[in-house]
Structures are given as C-alpha cells and as structure tokens.
Amino acid sequence: MVNVLSANELFEDQELEFKRKDGTILNGLLSTSLIDLKGVPHAITVTKEITRRVEAEKELRQKNEELLIANSEKDKLFSIVSHDLKNAFNIFLGYTDLLATDIDNLNRDETNSMAKSMNKSAKNLYKLLENLLEWSVFKRGLKSINKENIFLYKLTDEITEQIIGTAAEKNISIEKNIPHNISIMADRQMLEIIIRNLISNALKFTHRGGLVSISANKIDDNGVSISVSDTGIGMNEEFSKNLFNPGIDSKRKGTDNEQSSGLGLVLVKEYTAKLGGTISVASEEGKGSRFTLTLPADSNS
C-alpha cells in the first residue's frame, strides 16, 4: 500500500532551467513529494516542461511594463501640451479682447505690435497642434511608411524656404553644406518633419544675428549623416539627456521668448527610429548645439 504524506511534508515546487545537448534552454517545473512505502519514506520527483508558459508569462510582464511606461509618458506629455495650449490661447484671447474693447484708444504702433504678437502666437499654436496630431496618428499605429528615393539637398532647400521668414525676423543666417548627389531611402513626410523640427529648434534657441548650419555626408556605403548645428544658448549635460524623453518636461523658451513644448523632438526621435536611424546631440551652455542624425542611404547615391 502506498500512502502520500500530509501537505506539511510536501516539498515546494521549483522552476529550473535545463540545457539540451544542442544548447537549447528549457524551463521545467520540479515537483517533489514524500511517500510512505511500507513504512519507509521515499521522495518522488516529477519534472514537467513549462517553457511555453514561462515565455508567455515573460512576454506578458514585458508588455505590461511597456504599457505602464507608455501610459505614464502619454499622461506627462499631454499634461505639458495642455499647459502650453492653455497659455498660448490665453495670450491670443487677451489680445483679441483688448482689440475688441479698446481698439479706438490704440495708436497705430500699438495695434501693429499686437498684430505681430497675435501672429506669432497663432504660429506657435499651429505648430504645437500639428506636432500633436502627428504624434497622435503615429502612436495609434495609423501612420504608414512609404519609402522613396529623396535627394537631401532638394528637400532641405524646400524646408528652409518654408521657414526663411523666421530666420529673417531674427537676422539668423542659414548655411547649407549638402552635396547634391546624396540621396536617402525614406518616408518623405517623416524625413521632412524631422529636419524641419531640428532647424526650427535651432532658430528658436539662437540669438539674433547667429548662425544655423545644415550639413550632410556619407559615412559609408549604407549610411548618411545629417547635422543641424547652431550658435545658440546650448544646454547642460543633464538637460541634453532628457531631450527626447516624452515623460520629462524639457521645454524652455527661445531667445525671443518663443514657446516650446518639447513635443517636436519626441517626434524626431520616434520617426528617426522608424526610419532605421539614430539621433544624438552634443551641446554646451552658451556655445550652441549640434544634432546629428544617421539614416540609411540610397544604394544609388
């Protein structure tokens, strides 16, 4: 007769790893219990393979951790953006209220000054909403990637034409050093958003009369390096490390008191990764910043 001892006498189950002769790692559940064989206690051990269960549990834990991080970053980002939207609208509404109620008492110079301020506020609002909508579409997985052969010099020329007015307002020179024959296989809209945000940021944080430089060169047969540098206010090391983190508030005002949410650089980071590239920043307070982007090159460039 075989009698299994009471629950207090059972060993606790253990999860162990086993290695096959071919080097494959398997997970197993080791269950041991004591039984009584004719008055003599014996230990019986049973091993059950649970590799699939362990992998499924590990994947589930990883997904949960990623979801928690994503939700935390999203909440923080929307908190930052909503604050910036509210401030920008308050400024805009304040000027429109003043114009609506007291326009007859304003002289021409005061009216012109308000109009310029309202125009700047409207541009900031538009850019913030544009980046927010782009980020929202991307995060919901609705953004498809359509790669095509893009000549970098031509694209950069088109982008600088769009923002030349901003540079002129601050008397900032834009210098380009991009060979005409460098091309990249990338999504045109994504690449345009990346480069435009980098140039716009450089203009924002550069003093009047400064310089913004855009350069590119091939680093090997399969890669292109694109750099956007400025002679602006720069950053310390701690601030630089958090630039691309949507969960950390890294916004600050530009040299002409321009608003900044930090959302543009979050888009730059995520779009760069989607295009198979990397981005880094080198900066020093008071001496400007240099953002360097590396992307796969077109094989025919």
Q: What is the pLDDT of residues 226-265, one digit of tens each?
A: 999 999 999 988 888 878 776 566 667 788 877 666 677 8
For residues 131 and 200, the answer to whether their CB atoms sit within 8 Å is no
54 part of a folded domain:
no
Tell whether 133 and 17 lie within a shared domain: no
| pLDDT, tens digit (0-9, with 9 covering 90-100), for 58-107 | 888 888 777 776 666 666 566 656 656 666 677 778 778 878 888 888 78
pLDDT of res. 178: 93
Tell whether 204 and 147 lie within a shared domain: yes
Tell whether 33 and 178 lie within a shared domain: no
The CATH number of residue 192's host domain is 3.30.565.10
For residues 166 and 197, the answer to whether their CB atoms sit within 8 Å is no
Tell whether 174 and 234 lie within a shared domain: yes
pLDDT of res. 151: 92
Tell whether 43 and 162 lie within a shared domain: no
pLDDT of res. 1: 43
301 part of a folded domain:
no
| pLDDT, tens digit (0-9, with 9 covering 90-100), for 263-285 | 778 888 888 988 999 999 999 99
Which residues is 225 bridged to in the sheet? 217, 294
pLDDT of res. 8: 44
Average model confidence (pLDDT) across the chain? 79
> 171 in the Ramachandran plot: left (φ > 0), alpha (ψ -120 to 50) or beta?
left
11 part of a folded domain:
yes
Domain containing 161 equals 62-296
Nearest to 159 by CA among 191, 116, 184: 191
Tell whether 87 and 189 lie within a shared domain: yes
Tell whether 118 and 23 lie within a shared domain: no
174 part of a folded domain:
yes
Tell whether 12 and 160 lie within a shared domain: no
Tell whether 148 and 6 lie within a shared domain: no
Tell whether 44 and 80 lie within a shared domain: no
State which amino acid sits at residue 100: A
Tell whether 67 and 42 lie within a shared domain: no
Give the model's confidence band at 5: pLDDT under 50 very low, under 70 low, under 90 confident, else very high.
very low
Res. 161: pLDDT tops 90? no
167 part of a folded domain:
yes
Res. 126: pLDDT tops 80? no
Res. 211: pLDDT tops 90? yes
Domain count, the chain: 2
Tell whether 112 and 252 lie within a shared domain: yes
